[in-house]
Structure formats: structure tokens, C-alpha cells
Structure 1
């Protein structure tokens, strides 16, 4: 069986780096990208700002107390989406298999390429090509699996690269804090700290049966991660994936309120489905079918999001642009497309602290008791109808 060569690519301080392309005077300064200074939160910050203890999702007011001279920028949705697409196109044209896990993060599988090329040289050349063509700093890590590759990238930052050779995984990880293991949550780390387990080397020495006693089935997962064992595959990236739904009226309608009520409910449920699958959409579309079966669609590119308070106004605006109000509608549909993996990251630009907490609380309740348990009042009017959002290619 051939050795696996997995590359993890991460665009350093992506949003800050994009802003610096357009305004070089920001170079070397503490920069915060995010919401308004009032109740907004930090979406991203420069390494200079991080030195003051500032981090993503921190209230902007708190960040400015830590670093009063930081430069706060509102953020430019269009610039970030376009830069992400530009990097994606370069990777798409350069490698046979890749996975886009967020707007600024990718996994690439170069397994088997070593028969013809040196995988590390290939990855190095790709990194240089992205830097040259986009002007954005970028780091990568290469290893035998996704977990170690991601950890290597984090060690290589800022603007560096690191190859963990086969057989060196455990020794590379050993001196690092257990919090450096991807997907190991804060509560899990706190529990391990209570047992005196702080470094990954400590975790590597622990009997797997002890971890299973403390954490149940997750104990085996934690042990494998600590020992650099990760069999997860690269899921091929596709920009064509979409999520959509349609509603056919029993009687054709020209009532705007009815149409908007349906649209709110559909968009809300699609947005919830996006968040439950950890996805973001960067294109929204509306479909109208008139009484004579004539069908019209209209779409619009947007910044990556899964927040309905951004999506709903966009969908309502598309209805206003697409609908000839003198013609009765038989069917209406909503489609969110050009999906990529990601959670609340991009939404931090628009959301204040209360909105982020609200979404998380709503999702927690809806995950537990079923969606539509908590929803907007407009959506409750048709909460009983048969609604089946689905993923399609």
C-alpha cells in the first residue's frame, strides 16, 4: 500500500490579508475585522492583534480594551468571497483531489503522486503559485493524515510550510499542548488537565482503556488523534452542490404576504439545514412558476453565510425583482448553492454577540426537539405543511 501524502493549506489571517492587499498601510499593524464597535464581535484579526490576546468571536469592545490602538474594519464580503474563489480555482487546476473545508482552508491528497513527482516539491510550488497570483500569505503542512497535516500547518504559521515525514508523527506531536489537537474541545481538555495530562506526550502514554472509561466511545477517538492515527478521507470538493426546496400552491396566488410567508419559512429551514451540516452558501436563487407553467429563475451571489437574517432579505429582494405582480403564481422555490464547509465564521461580520448566541440557542433546541420548534412568527403560519429540503448536485 502506497504512503499517504495529505496537504493542509490555510490562508493566514485571510480577511486581514485581503484588506492589506487593497490598503498596504495596514501592514504590521494590529487590525481587527468584524462588527461595529458597539455590540459587534471580532471575525478575524492580524497576528499583531493576537499578541494582545485578541481572538475570533471576542466582543469588539473587549478587544479594544486589550489593544486600544487597534484598527477596526467593518469587512468587505465581496472581496473575501472573490479571493476564496480565486484560490479555489488555482487549486482546482493544479491537483487531482482536494477538499475545501472553509473559505480559507483546504485539504489536498497527493497520495500516489510520489511515483512521478516529489509531493513536497509539488505542494511548495502550489503554495508559491497561490502567493504569486493572489498576493496572499499562505501556510501548509504535509503529513500522512489530515489531523497531523493540520497541526503541521498551525506550527508553520505565519506564511510557512512544514513536512512531517512518515514515522515522525508521534515525535512531532509529543511536546505540543493537548489543545493543539484539532476538534479536541475545551471541556475535554479541561478534564484531561485534571488528570495531569497537559502535553500530547502525556496523552500518548495513557492506557486507551482509561480514556474509554472517562470519555466512553470518544476515548478511542482521542487516543487515535494523540497518536497521529486518522483514516478520514479527502471528500472531493464540488461547487455544484446545492440545497433547495419548492412549494406548490393549491390555488394560484398573487398575494405578496402569502408568498413572503412561504419564502421566510423555506429560507429559515434551509438555513437551519446548512448549519446542521456545517455548510455555508455563496449563491441564492428564487424560482417562480406562473399559472401557465412558464418558469422563471433569478439568482445572486452573496458572501458565504448560513444566517437567515442575511438570506431572507436577499430572497425577498429576488422576489421583488423576478415577479410580475399581475401574474398569479403556481409554484415558488428557494435554492442555496455554491456551498462550502464552515460554521459561524463569516456570519461574524454581520452578527453581534447576541445574534450569534441566539442562533446557537435556536439550533440547540431545534436539533433536540426537531426543526420548527423555534422559528420566526412568519414561518409558524405554515409550519404544518409538508416541507422536505434536500441536497442535490
Structure 2
């Protein structure tokens, strides 16, 4: 086993049901109340059976499924949970690829041997650790190729009884290396990572299982679906040479300062913030670089945090400018408890941002020098060489009559 796939089926719904277990088995629509002018973020299988789909208006969802429970779970909450799951997996695997929210691929080559476990036991323990940390119904699949792991996990999510399932729906399964085609043959075409429209067309052609697709001529699949058809045919035949493409890790610099005494005054918060910003911008890894975002927080005596996020109009490498912007966020801030620490996190690093300086500095002396230089240029050429634009007939509908060029100095 070289790769593993981790999935939480119907991710947004799983989060909602974790918060309210009584929603189990009921149609659930996530996105807000039906009266809002918003769209469906996620919906349960029960709601989908009634015709509800993500992206549909909430009012339309209510008309199709009046018995559904509507929940105001924000997309940002779903994304934060997805990022948390990904970070937990990164602690257990050196290479992690996000295929979607609650859908991850990772490399486990050699990890199970280092742990002194068999592939199936290692995968089961990996799944249990993630499920225990998140409280979500995590499923896991493993195999020698990325698609084999993905297909096994997706089949479990679809409720399909895979080989060796012993009649029960398992939560993790490993595809035996060398038997990928045999394993895939019984799986539904929905496990293919292609557009949903292709799944529908395959079923219209009477192709329900990957084994049927694998038995078709490659030329027929290419003629019907183009490059996607060739890729689907290769995957159905157990041919997969794809590798994981993890997203580059975001550069972050974090500094936190303990306050001399618990404080609630803005002066104390800004003084601590100035120290934290100065230390953060002075770090070696930030030399010659600017940042776009600063996250600021105050650690309170009761163990909670109060935070603010700053997104600069232009990247900055100046801690004084960052403090000036932060001051506007902190002013008027009322803390529920005294602060014991202040911290900042710098993100969005890029090359230093520079401004074009003026060609001439301002002032009467410099203006007089400019006038004399232009007069000298006119004298040497014998005629005007520098002109200025003057409005003549701004009301005219003919652009050429609206302005005129006049010799500079005349």
C-alpha cells in the first residue's frame, strides 16, 4: 500500500449532524433559512432524493423538500473544518493532496512498515485517529495507486459492498496490489473522478460498472468522450501512474509577547503589538520580503482569544505601517477579560513592494530650475520644444477643439 484516500461523505451535512445528532436520517439543507436570498451550500442524500442540489436557491429547495431542516452553516465553517482535517492528516503523512472539502489523498509508502503494522491495520488506525479527533464519520481506502485508494474509499461512501466486506459496510479497506482490475470491475462508474455528466452518459449507454467500461475498445471511449474517455478507460483497467500534487505550504511568521501585567487599555495592547510586529518583521526569513496579511490576537485571562485580521491595500515590509493600520482595528475594542499576551501572524509573503519616486522634488526652487532648463532648451532649438495642454472649448463635441497645445512658459 503506497497511497491512502480519506473521505467524509457529504462533508457539510456530516458537520451539521455532528453538532446535532438528532438530524440523523432527516433531510438536511445547509446554507441558511428558506427566507434568505442565498444558495444551498450542502444537502443530505434524503434532500437530494427530493431534487435538492447544491447551488440551488433556498426557496426552491423548500418547495422541493418542505420537510427538510434548514441550517445556517456558513461556507467558512465548512472550509475551516476541512482545513483542520487536512492538517491532522499532514501530521501523519509527509505528502497530502486536497481533492475537495473532506476528501484527501496522502502517501503512506513505508509508514505502515515503520509502525510495525500490516497495511489494513495501519489504515484502520489512521481512520480511527482522524475520526476520533474530528468527531466526523471518516472513511479510508488504500492501494498501490492513487485511483485504487480513491475508488475503494468512494465505493464505501456510496454504500457499495466491496469485496471482502463480509456483508457489513466497513469504514476502511485496502486494495490488494496486482488485483486492482479485479477489484475495480464491480464498482459503480460514479467512483471515476470525472464530470457528473460523464457518469450520466455512461449509464445511458448501459455502462454501470467499471468492468463493463474496461471491456470496451479504447477507440470507442475516445470517440465518445475524448481525452477524458481515454483516462477513464485506463483507470477502469487498473492503469494509473498519477502522483500526488500537494498544495504548497503557506509561509507564516508568528510572534507572541507576554504582557508585564494583565491589561485592558489600548495603550498596553498597542505597546505589546509594536514589540510583536517588530520581532516578526525582523525575522531572517522575512528579510527582503513584504506581507499582505496580519492576523492579530490578544490572549485573555480566561483562556480565550480576541482576534482581528488585517489585509493591507498594498504589501508592506514596514512594522510601523502595520502598527498604524492595526491601531484602527484595536481602537474601541472592548475586551471581556484582561489580556495577558498579544500575538501576530504574518502571511502572504511576497517580494518587497516599491513605489516610483517623483522625477523632481517639489518646491519653488526646483520649479524655477525646471522653468530655466526648458527656456534654455527653447533657445537652443530656436523654437518651442515643450508644451502644456490648455482647455479651449471644453463644451465642443469635437475632441480636437476641446484642448490645445501651448508652448511652455508662454
Give the TM-score, by structure 2 length. 0.54
8 Å CA contact retained: 1:288, 1:297: no
Give, in angstroms, the shift of residue 8 of structure 1. 0.9
Deviations 1:269-296 (A, max 9, x none): xxxxxxxxxxxxxx88325579x97763
Gap change, CA 1:148 and 1:320, over 3 Å in 2: farther
SS at match of 1:63: helix
Question: Over alpha carbons, which structure has the higher Rg?
Answer: 2
SS at match of 1:285: strand
Gap change, CA 1:171 and 1:64, over 3 Å in 2: farther
Alignment partner, residue 40 of structure 1: 38
SS at match of 1:54: coil
1:141 pairs with 2:167: no
With a CA cutoff of 8 Å and minimum separation of 6, indicate the structure with the bigger relative contact order: 1
Gap change, CA 1:197 and 1:85, over 3 Å in 2: closer
In structure 1, which of residues 56, 68, 71 is the aligned counterpart of residue 69 of structure 2?
Answer: 71
The CA distance in 1 between the partners of 2:228 and 2:16, in whole Å, is 40
The CA distance in 2 between the partners of 1:180 and 1:83, in whole Å, is 24
SS at match of 2:321: strand
The CA distance in 2 between the partners of 1:82 and 1:195, in whole Å, is 40
Give, in angstroms, the shift of residue 121 of structure 1. 1.8
Deviations 1:338-363 (A, max 9, x none): xxxxxxxxxxxxxxxxxxxxxxxxxx
SS at match of 2:7: strand
The answer for unaligned runs of 5 or more in structure 1 is 243-266, 268-282, 299-316, 323-334, 338-393
8 Å CA contact retained: 1:288, 1:296: no
Alignment partner, residue 173 of structure 1: 184
Alignment partner, residue 16 of structure 1: 13
SS at match of 2:212: helix
SS at match of 1:233: coil
Give the TM-score, by structure 1 length. 0.56
8 Å CA contact retained: 1:286, 1:318: no
Alignment partner, residue 234 of structure 2: 224
The CA distance in 2 between the partners of 1:238 and 1:71, in whole Å, is 38
Alignment partner, residue 130 of structure 2: 130
The CA distance in 2 between the partners of 1:108 and 1:228, in whole Å, is 19
1:200 pairs with 2:226: no
Deviations 1:73-106 (A, max 9, x none): 1213454344333323321222232222333121
SS at match of 2:5: strand
In structure 2, which of residues 68, 84, 87 is the aligned counterpart of residue 86 of structure 1?
Answer: 84
Give, in angstroms, the shift of residue 108 of structure 1. 1.2
Deviations 1:156-215 (A, max 9, x none): 1278222222233223332344343111451x4455456554432222111223333444
Alignment partner, residue 286 of structure 1: 312
Gap change, CA 1:9 and 1:221, over 3 Å in 2: same
Gap change, CA 1:112 and 1:189, over 3 Å in 2: same
Give, in angstroms, the shift of residue 41 of structure 1. 2.7
Alignment partner, residue 49 of structure 1: 47
Deviations 1:231-283 (A, max 9, x none): 111123444169xxxxxxxxxxxxxxxxxxxxxxxx9xxxxxxxxxxxxxxx8
SS at match of 1:142: strand
The CA distance in 1 between the partners of 2:119 and 2:210, in whole Å, is 27
8 Å CA contact retained: 1:145, 1:231: yes
Alignment partner, residue 108 of structure 1: 106
Give, in angstroms, the shift of residue 221 of structure 1. 1.7
Alignment partner, residue 378 of structure 2: none
1:161 pairs with 2:172: yes
The CA distance in 2 between the partners of 1:56 and 1:318, in whole Å, is 38
The CA distance in 2 between the partners of 1:319 and 1:37, in whole Å, is 40
The answer for unaligned runs of 5 or more in structure 2 is 160-169, 253-291, 293-308, 331-346, 350-410
1:296 pairs with 2:334: no
8 Å CA contact retained: 1:286, 1:319: no
